[in-house]
Amino acid sequence: MNIPPRQLRMFLALSESLNFSKTAEQLFMTQPSLSKAIRDLEQTLGLPLFERTTRSVQLTAGGQRLAAMARSVIGEYDAGLQRMLSSAGQEARQLAIASLPSLATVMLPAVCTALEREYPEPHITIHDCSNGACVQRLLDCQVDFALASVAPSHPALLYEEVLRDRFVLLSCGPWRKRLGPRLQLDDLSGLPLITMTDASTAMRYMSAAFLQRGIEFRPKMQLDQVGTIAGFVKAGLGIAVLPYLGMMPMQTLRGLQVSEIADGPVRSVGIVTRRLATPTAIAQQAMAAVRAVGAGLMEKHAGWILPPTAGRQS
């Protein structure tokens, strides 16, 4: 049995007015159309709903029972639609991003600030994790997009390079005096280098750069967190090797020196999305904000943060 909500609304309106012409006018339809809709409803149900005379229209017993049920059905229907609209409104303001911690720290605060100017009370979730974990969360549809530093070789994903940043040395205390502002990769041999762990993309970039010279990259220490690395550098235990964006939060620390690695590796930073997915409006706005933040960083830190390679999208 297929009785559309509109037909029930017509019936309810007529059951309250008991006047075909007034009800038709109220519903912005002709009286013959309303009469036909009521006859079709009676035929579908197999019972009369109204007693019609030349002077009046009255509900039958079956019509009274249907009126009670229809009010409940239409009420639930309208409430359900309202809940769906409310839920859709909430979903439209929801955003999930996976990002490397260094990128999340430097880039995402400005992105979230821009979103809060455009959306009332956005609900934003940021997963700061390793490059591999970022990509996996995207593949598992747990996030709208990811900020990564290596283009993932997966057919279901797209990579758009936003910027590139150079690797630098971070020193303090006696090591600061021994290092100049500009070094070559060959100058790093024999230095007590501190890097991220093997799971990080930073370590992969440095290892690849040394491997091209036929040298195994063997740092003195490997640590998980950039903040921990800063503490070890401040204590004079070694010299950190980090991408410039990863080093930026430490610039406020006193006594640290940044040295350029002239021929060092350059890290790619980009947005990763699912190839077949259509980003939500808030996700598109967030990605536009990422590009804008990237452009601002390139302008403010020219020479350290470089423009993306022309046409770099895969």
- Bridge partners (DSSP) of residue 163 are 269
CA angle at 306 for the pair 302 and 311, rounded to the nearest 5°: 145
Burial status of residue 286 (CB atoms within 10 A of its CB: 0-12, 13-18, 19 or more): buried
Instruction: Assess whether pLDDT exceeds 60 at residue 88.
Output: no
Q: Which residue has the tokens 């549809």?
A: 141
| Cα distance between residue 254 and residue 291, in whole Å | 31
Q: Render pLDDT for 275-295 as a digit per residue (tens, 0 to 9).
A: 988 898 899 999 999 999 999
What confidence tier does 86 reach under pLDDT thresholds 50, 70, 90?
low
Supply 309's token pair.
């390679």
Residues 6+ apart with CB under 8 A from 202: 149, 167, 195, 196, 241, 242, 243, 246, 267
Answer whether 174's CB lies under 8 Å from 236's CB: yes
Considering the chain, what percentage of its residues have pLDDT values greater than 70? 96
pLDDT of residue 85: 65
pLDDT tens by residue, 161-206: 999 999 999 999 888 888 888 999 999 988 999 999 988 888 999 9
Tell how far CA 238 is from the center of its chain.
Answer: 37
Instruction: Look up tokens 């020479």; give the residue.
Output: 303
pLDDT at 1: 62
61-76: b or e for each residue (b if 16 or more CB lie within 10 Å)?
A: eebeebbeebeeeeee
Structure tokens at 106: 């430097």
Q: What is the pLDDT of residue 242?
A: 93
- Torsions phi, psi for 167 (to 5 deg): -85, 145
In the chain, the amino acid numbered 202 is A
User: Looking at the predicted structure, is the pLDDT value of residue 254 above 60?
Assistant: yes
Give pLDDT tens digits for 41-58.
999 998 999 998 878 889
The CA-atom distances, in angstroms, between 98 and each of 148, 173, 220 are 8, 36, 30
List of residues 6+ apart from 239 with CB closer than 8 A: 169, 170, 171, 175, 179, 191, 192, 193, 194, 233
Share of the chain above pLDDT 90, in %: 53
Indicate if the pLDDT at residue 310 is higher than 80: no
206 vs 241: CA distance, rounded Å: 9
Count of C-beta atoms within a 10 Å radius of residue 223: 19
Average pLDDT of the chain is: 89
- Say which amino acid occupies 156: A
**Tokens matching residue 310:** 């022309």
- List pLDDT tens digits, range 99-137: 998 899 999 999 999 999 988 888 899 999 888 899 999
